[in-house]
A and B are shown apart, each in its own frame.
Chain A
Amino acid sequence: MKTLAFLCGVIFGLGLLISGMTDPAKVIAFLDIAGAWDPSLILVMITAVLVALVPMQIAQRRDRTVIGEKIAFPITRGITGKLILGSAIFGVGWGMTGLCPGPSLASLAGLTWQEWLFFCSMVAGMVGFEVWQRASSTRAQRQGNPAVPTATPRKI
């Protein structure tokens, strides 16, 4: 499992670097539909989805993998407010900087202050989310709201 995860991480990172997705200018050139439009990003996504399609569809229908790992994909149902709001917020940050989590990690070796500033800020934002989420569920529990679960580890 560890070797698999490591190799997949390397291939994922190289894929991001080869496709130019670590370059904010290339990402923004895709998001900038009113300017000179560079469709590269959508081609990256389409190819990635096409290659992942069959393995993903097979995996969804199984309980365990060939090496015996439990297959436990997210089971949340329904398009929730959190999903849309979170995605919208992410989209704004993405449009502001042309960076997102994967490319951020894959470009750390560039050692520029911009990459590291983004990375540290992203971590801060994620930490902020955890803190906020715990505060919300604690508050709801104290108010005696039985519908709110305690912060449980994510099912990923």
Chain B
Amino acid sequence: MFSIDWAHFTPGSAALGGAMIGASAGAMALIGGKIAGISGIFGGALSEAMQGKRPLPWRLWFLGGLVCASFLWVLFRPVPGAHYGESWPLIAAGGLIVGFGTRLGSGCASGHGVCGLARFSPRSMAAVTTFIGMGMVTTFVMRHLLGGA
């Protein structure tokens, strides 16, 4: 049955982290003129490289910043929760699907979920509803119908 996991709900850090993500996206849009959607930035750079072109510098700098944040973080504490599954086929298949799906759908949680919704984009509203919905269905099937993985 439906129950809220108050023990694990972290409203303070969720709000702080969310505000930082929003600030980054807002700044990229208003000052940089770009959409801070990770699948678009990363996928776009990949697409440019595959066409033999030099990826747009701003993309590489943004991605560089993202990865630097990661290394900066681990100097002080471990990456939050190393709760990864042990099934490599599941992880590999999931990765392939996420890579393909985010490109086909023109965005992911940051592009559609943050930037698109902040723009009041109907496309993004549809995208967000779809990927959250399918995410919930998939989790339900895997955890409650197939007995978890």
B and A form one assembly: yes
Query: Roughly how many angstroms separate A54 CA and B47 CA in the complex, as a whole number?
Result: 31
CB distance from B102 to the nearest CB of A (A): 5
Q: Is the interface of A mostly helix, strand, loop or mixed?
A: helix
- Is A78 interfacial (CB 8 A cutoff)? yes
Cβ 8 A contact of A70, one of B14, B33, B127 = B33
From known contacts A12-B36, A67-B31, A117-B95, infer whether A37 and B118 are also in contact, taking CB-CB under 8 Å: no
Cβ 8 A contact of A114, one of B5, B9, B91, B136 = B91
Question: Cβ of B95 and Cβ of A17 under 8 Å apart?
Answer: no
Question: Cβ of B123 and Cβ of A51 under 8 Å apart?
Answer: no
Question: Cβ of B99 and Cβ of A123 under 8 Å apart?
Answer: yes
- Is B11 interfacial (CB 8 A cutoff)? yes
**Which residues of chain B have C-beta atoms less than 8 A from A58's C-beta?**
30
How many chain B residues touch A (CB < 8 A): the figure is 121
- Is A135 interfacial (CB 8 A cutoff)? no
Question: Cβ of A95 and Cβ of B136 under 8 Å apart?
Answer: yes
How many chain A residues touch B (CB < 8 A): the figure is 119
Question: Cβ of B98 and Cβ of A125 under 8 Å apart?
Answer: yes
Query: Roughly how many angstroms separate A28 CA and B20 CA in the complex, as a whole number?
Result: 22
Chain A residue nearest to B58 (CB atoms) is A5
> A interface vs B, CB < 8 Å?
1-26, 28-29, 31-41, 43-60, 64-67, 69-74, 76, 78-80, 82-97, 99-102, 105-110, 112-115, 117-130, 151, 153-154, 156
**Which residues of chain B have C-beta atoms less than 8 A from A2's C-beta?**
57-58, 61
Question: Cβ of B62 and Cβ of A8 under 8 Å apart?
Answer: yes
Chain B residue nearest to A132 (CB atoms) is B100
**Which residues of chain A have C-beta atoms less than 8 A from B17's C-beta?**
14-21, 44, 47
Q: Which of A97, A105, A112 has the most chain B CB within a 10 Å cutoff?
A: A97
From known contacts A52-B25, A95-B138, A128-B99, infer whether A44 and B14 are also in contact, taking CB-CB under 8 Å: yes
Q: Which of A41, A82, A109 has the most chain B CB within a 10 Å cutoff?
A: A109
**Which residues of chain B have C-beta atoms less than 8 A from A15's C-beta?**
16-21, 23-24
Query: Roughly how many angstroms separate A115 CA and B142 CA in the complex, as a whole number?
Result: 20
From known contacts A34-B140, A73-B35, infer whether A12 and B65 are also in contact, taking CB-CB under 8 Å: yes
